[in-house]
Amino acid sequence: MAKISPFKAVRPSKEVLPNFSSKSYKTYSENELKKELKENPTSFLSIINIKKNASFSAEKSKRYKLVKDRFEAFKRSNVLIEDAVPSYYLYETIQANGLVFCGVIATASVEDYDANIIKKHEATISKRENTFKNYLQTVRFNAAPVLLTYADDLSLETSIQNAKEKASEFHSWTTGNETHKLWCIDNDLDIQCIQNAFKKIPSLYIADGHHRSASSALLARELTQKEHTTSHAACNHFLTYLIPESQLKIHDYNRVIKDLNGLNTETFLAQISIDFELEKKGPKPYKSSKKHDITMYLEGTFYSLSLRAIKQNSQSAIHQLDTHILQTHLLKPILGITNVRTNSRIGYIHGVNSMEQIKATVDCGDHAVGFGLFPIETKELMAIADSNAVMPPKSTYIYPKLRSGITIYEF
């Protein structure tokens, strides 16, 4: 039973709504950030853009306090307004490539997270957990929802569509090449129908936001001990965006390597051929169309790599992942890449023209070799989470990429 709750969102006023939300802060270049802050001084970026400076460069707590202060100032000036009653929010985004995502913005329960009703497929790093936990402890709001998915459910979809037709508010706006739509669901009967439908969903799966959810859970445990809160307390919930599995899009997440780890081309190919069957595909970009067909681009030639039958392992869902196969049989033993998170010799490429990008970066000498991987399927992600296993890092590049500040959960 998944406990998904309505909440009183703090939302941008109608006047600033089209320009308020932001992409992930880290995705902006310095010039883009300056431009956005100048053109939209009442945007969410203006709340979180606290630069380090000499006076408090070592004191993150002061920077977090400034974020909190700016948030409160935006509320006092009615740039941000809290809804009067707890609501669900149906949010739809239509991207330039035609992809449409529509789901429910709500809060999820830390209790469900701890009980593994909300399932994980990625390992988290304690330092990052604690950093964001400390941030949340000061600002006391969630503005970037954790992306959750679940098995398609007709009853839930029907409840959502019925509620959409009777929404008390509807807003539509554009940012760049995306169209956004938001419905506010505050009717008690519609809320109950959606809530009851979620209660029949046995498991939810984190698609994106493992560190944000882990940090929220960590903070909730600390506050429960210090303040003796109950499971119903606001701090025991975190902001989420829930979409059915059929809408989740997982793109290929490809690798490029700076060098051949001291090997010449002949020796490199010979070592690969011990575990893989190699097939030349020629100089034109070649993109795999199926699992277990790994693309490689090296010195002007594309290859297809498939793991030899004698080396294949069907022991678990993890062993079937192409990211695991590539890491276990090539990147680590041959190229010496043991930690794909931290090794500076490895880079990542994704997108519809990823093979062309791999070819370009290798041809110009920025990288020596590139590897293309067939995208992981949502069913594989779920199977791995169900088995309490952890995917290799950088296995998935998932859409939708959510904006911050469309609805804010204060606790």
Query: What is the pLDDT confidence band of residue 116, given thresholds at 50, 70 and 90?
Result: very high
Asked if residue 386 is part of any domain, the answer here is no
Is residue 119 domain-shared with residue 236, that is, in the same domain?
yes
Query: What is the pLDDT confidence band of residue 55, given thresholds at 50, 70 and 90?
Result: low
Is residue 259 domain-shared with residue 217, that is, in the same domain?
no
Is residue 158 domain-shared with residue 177, that is, in the same domain?
yes
Asked if residue 324 is part of any domain, the answer here is yes
Alpha helices per DSSP H over 200-264: 210-227
Q: What is the mean pLDDT of residues 36-45?
A: 94
Would you say 316 and 328 are in contact if contact means Cβ atoms under 8 Å apart?
A: no
Asked if residue 381 is part of any domain, the answer here is no
Domain around 313: 253-374
Is residue 226 domain-shared with residue 127, that is, in the same domain?
yes
pLDDT higher than 60, residue 58 = no
pTM: 0.91
| CA distances, 191 to each of 110, 155, 160, 286, 394 (Å) | 20, 14, 9, 49, 37
Structural domain count, the chain: 2
| 59 vs 349, higher pLDDT | 349
Tokens of 384: 């791995």
Is residue 45 domain-shared with residue 136, that is, in the same domain?
yes
Q: List 149's β-bridge partners, or say none.
A: 205, 243
pLDDT higher than 80, residue 231 = no
Asked if residue 338 is part of any domain, the answer here is yes
Whole-number pLDDT of residue 229: 65
CATH of the domain at 361: 3.30.1760
pLDDT higher than 50, residue 53 = no
Q: What is the mean pLDDT of residues 39-64?
A: 79
Is residue 84 domain-shared with residue 231, that is, in the same domain?
yes
**φ/ψ (deg, to 5) at 383:** -60, -40
pLDDT higher than 80, residue 52 = no
Would you say 194 and 160 are in contact if contact means Cβ atoms under 8 Å apart?
A: yes
Is residue 257 domain-shared with residue 242, that is, in the same domain?
no
Whole-number pLDDT of residue 51: 66
How far apart are alpha carbons 70 and 38 in whole angstroms?
16
| 231 vs 184, higher pLDDT | 184
pLDDT tens sequence across 16-33: 999 999 999 888 988 999
Is residue 189 domain-shared with residue 257, that is, in the same domain?
no
pLDDT tens sequence across 355-404: 999 999 999 999 999 999 999 999 999 999 999 999 988 899 999 999 99
Whole-number pLDDT of residue 224: 86
Is residue 241 domain-shared with residue 289, that is, in the same domain?
no
